[in-house]
């Protein structure tokens, strides 16, 4: 508690995201009352009315905790990242988009032109005059400006310093509740916060560690998509040839997907110590392919039709290469 | 001095074969262009695709992976593992827009100094023709802040996080 007895302030913001993170926060059920009891919610566009200028008027560092979800896709996202960094004591990169780019970062495989062509120019788009968004429009009342679209989506920590990372697409509600508990305790001096830069609300190991499926020596002759086979419900999915990302993915979800019969797709991001998530998966998958013949190996690899999507579905913006070559062409015509 | 583009190539060599092939090329005074920087691994099976991505992201124009011929690995069959990783990595790199000439796998025994020198020479010329990759300058052209918090400062969190300058704010 602050000295004058006022409640500490809480904010949540969404940048390039789907809104699932906000739902995950509301999904902590009655714990949300703890948030309300312990915090004064000052800015949360999804849940309450507030204007950016209200945030600008707050003293720097006056928001105790900001959960920032979403990647930095455009000028507005970046401006709010800087603004909320300035106003917040603790800024949490909340959810996969803010931590590592997530699904929106898959657009980093394409140039801005390709993205705009797809959105405004495909046969299913009703846009007979080929209208494209203009960042500045001269209206009679004066120029109207909309935020510019950036060629490459960035993670929050590629734009401003981040105190904590909370992975997941979205973070599991029980993990959010645990983090809320911890921060509330810390506010009352009953707990200490982990060192800055830590990943919170997740484990340090891999999804395999939490997965109850039986594991043996893996030898793969064929990769199969999960919908094309009837998988053994008790055996490791990768052993059955289903590309499961659990072995490079951070624990914390409780291995929900493998327990429900679906492969891990990697939403909790890289496990502790992994530098490049996709490289770790490539290493692992290639190691267990059971062939020494280049032709046969290529045929087995055909079973993974979209390697970049398989290995970087959530992690592209945070990977070593971060974006494909066409996306780096900053001057591409939009 | 010329302004001709000189490719930077990172070469990963195996202690038991290709590193010795490079050594042999040296003692036999076989010439090859100085564009390749060799890094010795104990085996091509040690090659993590992370190394290749790190090299490209840090400014290399190409990466050469070398190992013992199939069937001749000092560690029985780890070079097959390298082969599989290379073939998979190549598919991913193609989606990232990296030209296939930039990352190559070459087998070279300890006796093949001449062959290794030829392969290096060919690769340097191919990449010279492609031009620079410039991944690192692309990345730094996008305003980039990498978290300095990582790396274990600890303790008084509440006073630690105060001043963050509003660099790069637009509009």
pLDDT in tens, chain B (171 residues): 567 899 999 999 999 999 999 999 999 999 999 999 999 999 999 999 999 999 999 999 999 999 999 999 999 999 999 999 999 999 999 999 999 999 999 999 999 999 999 999 999 999 999 999 988 777 766 543 333 333 333 333 333 332 333 333 333
Let me know the angle formed at the C-alpha of A25 by A24 and A27, rounded to the nearest 5 degrees.
60
> How many other CB atoms are there within 10 angstroms of residue B3's CB atom?
5
Among B171, B159, B52, B64, which Cα is nearest to B121's? B64
Q: Is A287 on the interface with B (CB under 8 A)?
A: yes
pLDDT tens sequence across A139-195 = 999 999 999 999 999 999 999 999 999 999 999 999 999 998 898 899 889 999 999
pLDDT the model gives residue A4? 54
Say yes or no for a CB contact (<8 Å) between B92 and A307.
yes
Coil, strand or helix at B104: strand
Q: Could you tell me if A277 and A269 are in contact, meaning their C-beta atoms sit under 8 angstroms apart?
A: yes
Interface A-B: count of C-beta contacts within 8 A? 162
Say yes or no for a CB contact (<8 Å) between B49 and A330.
no
pLDDT the model gives residue B141? 60
Is the per-residue pLDDT at A273 higher than 60? yes
pLDDT the model gives residue A302? 97
pLDDT the model gives residue B3? 74
Sequence-distant (≥ 6) Cβ neighbours of residue B58 within 8 angstroms: B135, B136
Interval A312-321 mean pLDDT: 97
Say yes or no for a CB contact (<8 Å) between B80 and A154.
no
pLDDT the model gives residue A200? 96
pLDDT the model gives residue B164? 34
- Best of B147, B165, B167 to substitute, by most chain A Cβ atoms within 10 angstroms, is B147
Sequence-distant (≥ 6) Cβ neighbours of residue A183 within 8 angstroms: A65, A90, A193
**Domains in chain A, please, with CATH?**
9-103+151-187 (3.40.50.700), 118-150 (no CATH), 207-303 (no CATH)
Among all residues of chain B, which has the CA nearest to that of A150? B142
Is the per-residue pLDDT at A31 higher than 70? yes
Higher pLDDT, A88 or A330: A88
pLDDT the model gives residue A330? 62
Q: Could you tell me if B171 and A79 are in contact, meaning their C-beta atoms sit under 8 angstroms apart?
A: yes
Is the per-residue pLDDT at A30 higher than 50? yes
pLDDT tens sequence across A243-262 = 999 999 999 999 999 999 99
Say yes or no for a CB contact (<8 Å) between A152 and B142.
yes
Distance between B16 CA and the closest CA of chain A, angstroms: 20
pLDDT the model gives residue B46? 96
How far is A219 from B7, CA to CA, in rounded Å? 39
pLDDT the model gives residue A329? 74
> DSSP assignment, residue B165?
-
- Best of A136, A161, A277 to substitute, by most chain B Cβ atoms within 10 angstroms, is A161
Q: Burial, B151: exposed, middle or buried (Cβ in 10 Å; 0-12, 13-18, 19+)? A: exposed
Distance between A308 CA and the closest CA of chain B, angstroms: 5
Rg (CA), chain B: 20
Among all residues of chain B, which has the CA nearest to that of A85? B164
Q: Burial, B126: exposed, middle or buried (Cβ in 10 Å; 0-12, 13-18, 19+)? A: middle
pLDDT the model gives residue B167? 37
Distance between B63 CA and the closest CA of chain A, angstroms: 14
Distance between A128 CA and the closest CA of chain B, angstroms: 32
Q: Is A322 on the interface with B (CB under 8 A)?
A: yes
Distance between A260 CA and the closest CA of chain B, angstroms: 29
Q: Which of residues 53-72 of A touch B (CB under 8 A)?
A: 60-61
pLDDT the model gives residue A184? 87
Say yes or no for a CB contact (<8 Å) between A287 and B57.
no
Distance from CA of residue B36 to its chain's centroid? 10
Say yes or no for a CB contact (<8 Å) between B145 and A158.
yes
Q: Is the preceding peptide bond at A168 cis, omega within 30 degrees of 0?
A: no
Distance between B31 CA and the closest CA of chain A, angstroms: 31
């Amino acid at each position: 508690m602050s000295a004058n007895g006022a409640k500490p302030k809480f904010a949540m913001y969404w940048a390039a995201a789907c809104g699932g993170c906000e739902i995950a926060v509301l999904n902590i059920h009655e714990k949300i009352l703890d948030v309300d009891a312990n915090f004064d919610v000052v800015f949360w566009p999804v849940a309450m009315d507030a204007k950016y200028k209200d945030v600008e008027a707050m003293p720097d560092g006056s928001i105790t905790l900001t959960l920032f979800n979403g990647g930095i896709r455009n000028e507005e996202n970046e401006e709010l990242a800087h603004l909320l960094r300035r106003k917040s004591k603790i800024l949490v990169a909340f959810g996969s988009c803010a931590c590592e780019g997530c699904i929106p970062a898959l657009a980093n495989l394409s140039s801005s032109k390709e993205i705009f062509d797809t959105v405004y120019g495909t046969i299913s788009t009703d846009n007979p005059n080929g209208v494209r968004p203009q960042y500045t429009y001269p209206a009679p009342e004066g120029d109207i400006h909309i935020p510019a679209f950036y060629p490459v989506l960035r993670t929050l920590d590629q734009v401003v310093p981040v105190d904590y990372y909370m992975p997941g697409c979205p973070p599991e509600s029980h993990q959010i509740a645990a983090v809320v508990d911890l921060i509330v305790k810390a506010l009352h001096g009953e707990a200490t916060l982990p060192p800055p830069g830590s990943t919170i609300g997740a484990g340090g190991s891999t999804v395999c560690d939490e997965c109850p499926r039986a594991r043996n020596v893996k030898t793969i002759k064929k990769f199969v998509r999960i919908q094309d086979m009837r998988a053994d419900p008790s055996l490791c999915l990768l052993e059955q040839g289903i590309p499961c990302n659990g072995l490079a993915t951070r624990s914390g979800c409780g291995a929900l997907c493998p327990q429900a019969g679906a492969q891990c797709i990697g939403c909790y991001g890289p496990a502790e110590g992994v530098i490049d998530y996709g490289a770790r998966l490539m290493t692992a998958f290639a190691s267990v392919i059971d062939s020494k013949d280049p032709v046969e190996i290529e045929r087995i690899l055909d079973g993974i039709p979209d390697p970049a999507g398989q290995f970087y579905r959530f992690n592209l913006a945070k990977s070593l290469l971060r974006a494909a070559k066409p996306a780096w062409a900053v001057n591409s015509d939009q | 001095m010329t302004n001709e583009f000189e490719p930077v190539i990172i070469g990963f060599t195996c202690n038991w074969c290709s590193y010795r092939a490079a050594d042999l090329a040296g003692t036999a005074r076989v010439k090859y262009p100085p564009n390749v920087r060799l890094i010795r691994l104990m085996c091509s099976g040690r090659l993590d695709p992370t190394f290749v991505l790190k090299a490209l992201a840090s400014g290399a124009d190409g990466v050469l992976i070398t190992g013992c011929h199939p069937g001749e690995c000092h560690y029985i069959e780890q070079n097959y593992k390298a082969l599989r990783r290379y073939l998979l990595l190549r598919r991913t790199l193609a989606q990232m827009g990296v030209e296939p000439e930039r990352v190559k796998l070459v087998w070279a025994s300890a006796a093949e100094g001449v062959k290794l020198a030829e392969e290096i020479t060919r690769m340097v010329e191919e990449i010279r023709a492609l031009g620079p990759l410039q991944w690192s300058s692309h990345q730094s052209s996008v305003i980039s802040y990498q978290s300095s918090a990582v790396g274990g400062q600890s303790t008084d969190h509440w006073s630690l996080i105060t001043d963050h300058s509003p660099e790069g704010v637009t509009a």
